[in-house]
Amino acid sequence: MEWQAIHNWLGRLAAHSPFTYRHSLGVASLALNLARIYGMDQGECQAIYAGALLHDVGKITITNALLMKKGPLTREEWLVIKNHPRAGVELLTASGISPGILEFVAYHHERWDGGGYNGLKGPDIPLGARIIALADAFEAMTSQRPYQQIRTLPNALAEVENNAGTQFDPGLVPVFFTMIHKLMKTASSLPLIRP
């Protein structure tokens, strides 16, 4: 695994957009847990984790003003944002990142129904990219963003369930719910820290 190159890119992402860096860490944690619970082997889990860490590295090519814009995007701005997976693949290819990880970066905005950035559909979307797409969307829903209200956990889970088979792989959604249940159980068993 190309951990030194990954570390270097994460450092650049953190310097350019701390918000996107933190988001990428959250997505990577969710994606790794989902891949493990889905039953993927250690090598596959590591590749998905790496892909999730790097999924938004192409946003380095986008100004912070645009990344954090509160109002609606113009068509031109949307096209710039939409290009971030391609930009990420171009940046990472030059660093020798493996083709499998590059696929996850390239296709993390695909939708199960074919309505994503590149129009891939269903099982034609690499499984790692489907896992990252679900983790990415959930992390985005449950994090504060300048252009979107944070959702409660029940609302975010309902959104995931409502989009099974359209946005998300319907085979991953039940596994995702199992993962969230396990994470909540673990979190609730930790001692509460009171002021």
Alpha helices in the chain (DSSP H): 3-16, 18-38, 42-54, 64-67, 75-82, 84-93, 99-106, 127-141, 153-162, 173-188
Question: What tokens does 18 get?
Answer: 């701390």
Cα–Cα distance, 193 to 19 (Å, whole number): 26
Cα–Cα distance, 85 to 105 (Å, whole number): 6
Cα–Cα distance, 68 to 81 (Å, whole number): 11
Instruction: Please give the positions annotated as active site.
Output: 59
Cα–Cα distance, 149 to 138 (Å, whole number): 13
Cα–Cα distance, 150 to 139 (Å, whole number): 10
